[in-house]
Amino acid sequence: MSTTEWFEHFKHKLQGLTESHTAGGSPLSLLAYALKENQLTPEEYFPWAMAHYKLPRLQARFFTETPPRKEMLAKWATHYSWTVECLPVAEWDGILVVACLQPPQDFPSNPTCVFVLAPQEALEQCWNSWQSQTAKIPASAPTKPVALDSSLPEGFEAATVIAPAKKSGDSFSFEDLGEFPEASDASASSEEGESSEGHSESAGEEMGGLEGLFDTPVVKLQSIANSEASAEAAPAQEAARELTPVDQILNTSASASDVEKTFDRTVVDARPTLAKVDPVLEKKAETTVAAATPALTPNSAPAPAASKAGGPPPPPKDELPDLSEESFGNKPIPVVTRPTGIAKPTMNPVASGSFALEKLKKKNSGVIADKVKRVLSEMKSHFEKSMILTLDEQESQVTAFAWDENFQDIKDTSMRIPLKTPSIFNIVAATQKPFHGYISLNDLNENFFEQWNQGTIPDHVTITPIIINEKLVGMLMGLAEKSAYNKASLNLAEKLSNEFIKGLQAA
């Protein structure tokens, strides 16, 4: 990122910044370092950056109310060299929204991207959250030695096995997918190294290629005093392991009669107080394994989950928030339908003929009034107030064309909104895509609602483009409470925008 423009503008405040940045060895860019060290305050930088780069600014609450999902981050992880100062935060209809301190100069041209400015603290929190999701086990991960006694069963070498330290609990982490450092022993002989390598290869073959690649169960070996006894006990223990019922392993209160009723890979619980049930089958993607679920007595605690190999349970599924089909966001919002009615629209008497919809009005005087009334009436089912806006021929500004009767105490109906300045209208004009959500505060947004909504910022706004022959001629806007943040309200506004232009003669 270039530092020339912002540095030149604020250089009178940044005496000695470059020297302290170099001496401190900070990994941050000069801009991020200046903001973090408070040599340049956000109140000074962001108003200048918004005007200079013509970009809107995200509020910090965006990152807490709609935090970027890790699936979206993973999708774009290799698209660009993301840093704590430049991150993807949203995706809308094929357009990637990137939050940054300043727009990067080397960003790829594809896909279509929209840059927004964001507070450094919010970017840093988002970055740290992303890193915690994708972090792997470092090469210096702690290990614990497992010493084997010399009197092991036949086939084992008297060497020290290094096992990776296992985290407590059954929680799953991306660290489980990391590569563990190879075990090494400086004092081990070449014979023991070859034996250990051979043993690892044979173990890999027994596990069937990729099976067991993740979360391999750790077999704990204990020394046995008598080598002959251990050699004889090994087959017996292996046979007992195959025949021991799951109920006896997981429920210590199992009686002797329960143990006797054991079948190959199937356990039948013969408790007199419970009915005989079939074993529970756990279906997996490639193989089906019959796993018996032990019955629980009223006084017994639930048994911990275990895999067929006796290792840790499989990682939990990524639990997504329980959203309704019509709801966006991370928390379900009920879809509220408003009472419908017939709108009483007002056409803007001060809109001049240089605006696109005004020209269409002259060509379609008998039709357009009915279309305006029908569109604003149907918008009432999801929006408290609705308005149609029109653009000028140069697409440089927008003004009100018609609005419903719920707009009261309007201060200035002739207000012109520039489309080159960051605002909710600028986003729609630049992308020709809908804006659907809450409103970020800036001078232009606040000034508009000061004139049209008695200074009250609505909880939600939906703005959809009105396009004729690939040219943006107007916008349909609806104001509502938070419950309008759903697919139903967005689909309605998009449908009405498309239907508004049907049957109209070109100007």
Sorted by where each begins, the domain ranges of the chain are 4-134, 139-230, 254-299, 346-500
Confidence of residue 478 (pLDDT cuts 50, 70, 90): very high
What would the DSSP string read from start to end of 104-121? Answer: -SS--S-S-EEEEE--HH
Confidence of residue 469 (pLDDT cuts 50, 70, 90): confident
Residue 402 burial class via C-beta count within 10 angstroms: exposed 0-12, middle 13-18, buried 19 and up: buried
Look at 463 and 273; give whichever has higher pLDDT. 463
Question: How distant, in Å, are the alpha carbons of 15, 27, 99, 356 from that of 19?
Answer: 9, 14, 28, 55
SS3 for 122-167 is HHHHHHHHHHHHHCCCCCCCCEEEECCCCCCCCCCCCCCEEEECCC
What is the average pLDDT across 479-506?
A: 89
Is residue 378 pLDDT above 90, yes or no? yes
Angle between helices 365-379 and 356-363 (to 10 degrees): 120
Residue 238 is predicted with a pLDDT of: 52
**Residue 338 near residue 380, CB atoms below 8 Å:** yes
d(CA 419, CA 426): 5
Residue 335 is predicted with a pLDDT of: 58
Q: How is residue 505 annotated by DSSP?
A: P
Coil, helix or strand at residue 49 = helix
Confidence of residue 60 (pLDDT cuts 50, 70, 90): confident
Residue 218 is predicted with a pLDDT of: 46
Reading the block at residue 417, the tokens are 């909104």
Residue 455 is predicted with a pLDDT of: 92
Where does residue 395 fall: left (phi above 0), alpha (psi -120 to 50 degrees), or beta otherwise?
left
Residue 341 is predicted with a pLDDT of: 78
246: amino acid identity, one letter: V
Reading the block at residue 106, the tokens are 């080397």
Residue 141 is predicted with a pLDDT of: 41
What is the average pLDDT across 118-124?
A: 91
Model pLDDT for residues 151-164, shown as the tens digit of each residue: 444 444 444 444 44
Confidence of residue 231 (pLDDT cuts 50, 70, 90): low
Is residue 453 pLDDT above 70, yes or no? yes
Confidence of residue 237 (pLDDT cuts 50, 70, 90): low
What is the average pLDDT across 116-136?
A: 80
Average pLDDT along the chain? 71
Confidence of residue 338 (pLDDT cuts 50, 70, 90): low
Residue 354: other Cβ atoms inside 10 A: 12
Residues written for the chain: 507
Record: fold of 346-500 = Beta-Lactamase (3.30.450)
Residue 167 is predicted with a pLDDT of: 43
**Residue 460 near residue 422, CB atoms below 8 Å:** no
Is residue 103 pLDDT above 60, yes or no? yes
| Dihedral (Cα; 51, 53, 58, 63), 10-degree rounding | -150
Model pLDDT for residues 400-411, shown as the tens digit of each residue: 999 999 999 898
d(CA 35, CA 423): 25
Is residue 284 pLDDT above 50, yes or no? no
Residue 372 is predicted with a pLDDT of: 92
pLDDT above 90: percentage of residues in the chain? 27
Residue 100 burial class via C-beta count within 10 angstroms: exposed 0-12, middle 13-18, buried 19 and up: buried
What is the average pLDDT across 333-357?
A: 75
Residue 9 is predicted with a pLDDT of: 86
Look at 422 and 329; give whichever has higher pLDDT. 422
Residue 83 burial class via C-beta count within 10 angstroms: exposed 0-12, middle 13-18, buried 19 and up: middle
Angle (CA) 9-12-16 rounded to 5° is 115
What is the average pLDDT across 477-504?
A: 92
Confidence of residue 8 (pLDDT cuts 50, 70, 90): confident
pTM of the model: 0.44
